[in-house]
Amino acid sequence: MSLGTIFVMRHELLLIAAALLVLMAEIFVNPDKRRYISLFSVSLFGVITLIGFIPSPTGSLFGGMYVTSNTILLMKNVLNIGALLVFIQSVTWLKKEENSEKISEYFILLISTLVGMNFMISAGHFLMFYIGIELATIPIAALAAFDRYKNKSAEAGIKLILSSALSSGILLYGLSLIYGTTGTLYFNEVAALFGNNNLQILAFIFFFAGMAFKISIVPFHLWTADVYEGSPVNITSYLSVISKGAAVFILIILLFSVFPEIIATWQKTIYVTAVLTMTIGNLFAIRQQNITRFLAFSSISQAGYILLGFIGGNQLGMASVIYYVLVYIFSNLGAFGVVIAISNSKGRENIEDYNGLYHTNPKLSLIMTLALFSLAGIPPVAGFFGKFFLFTAAAQKGFYLLVLIAVLNTIISLFYYLLVIKAMFINKGENPIEKFRSDFPTRFALGICVAGIVVTGFASILFEVIRNLSFGV
């Protein structure tokens, strides 16, 4: 291995370097100039995101433990974009008095989760995959408990760490069964040796259950709502978009490239879990009063729609999943961005508080509307195209009934998204949120989200690029 080949890991190396630089900054910067750390970290990460788009060599490292391909690079870039948006959205929140001591911790922890996710996606071996998952999860638990003097935040942290420990246990058990039946943990060797014997099916079920925890697929979703509600809103948005997206990416890679032999089995599994996830996520979302809990349940149902891209095992499916995650990043972060802006300046997080928002803050309500329409899949915004491609991918393999169930679910989701829109536009607020002007980072992040929501659908080139890099079973 020459030194040059190490740059195959460019994404990870850059992130690690960034984490170290932020740490150095923390050490060397004068305490009363700490607030510049945010600016430094965000611009550093912006540069990294841009560098990610420069074509890079692909290949494998460490004897196949680490592999990367153009598809994987694309996934990493998608995650980087999302993470960058979360970073920008956090700046205002980090300016608060109680966070001033912890700015660099925040960025270091977030970057290390991202490193974990990148290693997870790039894994060529189940051990590497597992290390990646853990690296991606544990710092998040610390972040969930970031407001450590708030009971709910501490509770969210402990709930996240305990439930992910449990899910890791289940996942590991599945992996051990895989190792026991095939004698190897390398993806390509497992793929060749994996078949339909009962023990291997069991191994797959355990593996899937472990992953289902990470993506919060019903019935493994129960941790989601409490953690989402308790965590700081920035972390919630990170959890619901980036963490979920990364887990979705690795799951689809593994299903398509490691478990193609048992496609019939995982199609059944996904069929059932997709229906449950969409329906239960939606039905629970209707009842929520708190807007972050509301978005939490809506994001559960979104995971259900994403599973429709998995089920066909086709190239179109993978393309639509990656595309949808990209769209979902813009839409969900747009919605969260508005929630964050309001929560930062007014500290209000209930749907009732949004009554009459249009009359006081028309721009924020319009952005919220656009984001919610995109989540609901209403044209002409990006969410419509994303959902359409997911459904097309499932229909291509003849899962028409599943598509019908999914589309009917989008109607339910439209109902509760419209409730928020109704609150903003139609309801008369007795105590509406006063007019306020959010600061530059918030507006900048929202601007990117809006541009993403509007442009992604019409710019067909994006989808074509993604599709050309995707593969099927």
Partner 1 sequence: MDILSLFVVIPVLTITAILFLKDARHVRLVSAFGMGLQLVLAAILVYLYLSARHSGNIAEMLFVKDYLWYKSLNIHYAVGVDGISVAMIALTSLVVFAGIFASWEVEFLKKEFFISLILLASGVFGFFISIDLFTMFLFYELAVIPMYLLIGIWGSGPKEYSAMKLTLMLMGGSALLLVGLLGIYFNSSPNGGQLTFNILEISKVAIPLPAQRLFFPLTFVGFGVLGALFPFHTWSPDGHASAPTAVSMLHAGVLMKLGGYGAFRVAIFLMPEAAQELSWIFIILTSISVVYGAFGAIAQKDLKYINAYSSVSHCGLVLFAVLMMNKTAMNGAILQMISHGLMTALFFALIGMLYGRTHTRMINEMGGLMKVIPFLSVCYVIAGLASLGLPGLSGFVAEMTIFVGAFQHPELFYRIVTILAVSSIVITAVYILRVVATLLLGPTTNEHHNHITDAKWFEKISVVTLIGAVAAIGLAPFWLSTMIGTSLQPIVNKIIALNPF
Is 18 in contact with 67 (CB distance < 8 Å)?
no
Interaction of residue 324 with partner 1, rule CB under 8 A: no
Interaction of residue 447 with partner 1, rule CB under 8 A: no
Interaction of residue 335 with partner 1, rule CB under 8 A: no
Contacts to partner 1 from residues 383-422, by CB under 8 A: 384, 388-389, 391-392, 395-396, 400, 403-404, 407-408, 410-411, 414-415, 418, 421-422
Q: Binder to partner 1 among 154, 191, 378, 473 (CB under 8 A)?
A: 378
Closest separation in Å from C-beta 85 to partner 1: 26
Closest separation in Å from C-beta 277 to partner 1: 18
Interaction of residue 467 with partner 1, rule CB under 8 A: yes
Q: Taking the CB of residue 262, how many other CB atoms lie within 10 A of it?
A: 18
Interaction of residue 436 with partner 1, rule CB under 8 A: no
Contacts to partner 1 from residues 190-209, by CB under 8 A: none
Is 78 in contact with 70 (CB distance < 8 Å)?
no
Q: DSSP class of residue 428? A: P
Q: What do you get for the CA distance between the two ends of the chain, in Å?
A: 31
The residue among 135 and 446 lying less far from partner 1, judged by its C-beta, is 446
Which are the contacts of 408, defined by CB distance < 8 A and separation ≥ 6? Answer: none
Q: Taking the CB of residue 460, how many other CB atoms lie within 10 A of it?
A: 10
Interaction of residue 440 with partner 1, rule CB under 8 A: no
The residue among 50 and 408 lying less far from partner 1, judged by its C-beta, is 408
Surface-to-core class of residue 395, CB atoms within 10 Å of its CB (0-12 exposed, 13-18 middle, 19+ buried): middle
Closest separation in Å from C-beta 222 to partner 1: 28
Interaction of residue 425 with partner 1, rule CB under 8 A: yes
Closest separation in Å from C-beta 18 to partner 1: 36
Interaction of residue 373 with partner 1, rule CB under 8 A: yes
Q: Dihedral (C-alpha) 338, 279, 289, 95: value to the nearest 10 degrees? A: -30
Closest separation in Å from C-beta 423 to partner 1: 11
Q: Binder to partner 1 among 142, 218, 316, 333 (CB under 8 A)?
A: 316
Q: Binder to partner 1 among 39, 47, 426, 455 (CB under 8 A)?
A: 426
Separation between Cα atoms, residue 209 and residue 35, nearest integer Å: 42
Separation between Cα atoms, residue 375 and residue 373, nearest integer Å: 5
Closest separation in Å from C-beta 319 to partner 1: 8
Separation between Cα atoms, residue 446 and residue 132, nearest integer Å: 30
What is the Rg, in whole angstroms, of the alpha carbon atoms belonging to the chain? 21
Number of residues located near partner 1, criterion CB under 8 A? 31
Q: Binder to partner 1 among 5, 43, 431, 460 (CB under 8 A)?
A: 460
Q: DSSP class of residue 314? A: S
Secondary structure (3-state) at 59: strand
Closest separation in Å from C-beta 389 to partner 1: 8
Residue 173 half-sphere exposure, CB side, CA atoms within 13 Å?
Answer: 13
At 37, which amino acid appears? I
How is residue 409 written in tokens? 């679910």
**What binding mask, one character per residue, do residues 258-297 give for partner 1 by CB under 8 A, x or -?**
----------------------------------------
Q: Which of 333, 325, 294 is nearest to 442 (CA)?
A: 333
Residues that bind partner 1 (CB under 8 A): 316, 319, 373, 378-380, 384, 388-389, 391-392, 395-396, 400, 403-404, 407-408, 410-411, 414-415, 418, 421-422, 425-426, 460, 463-464, 467
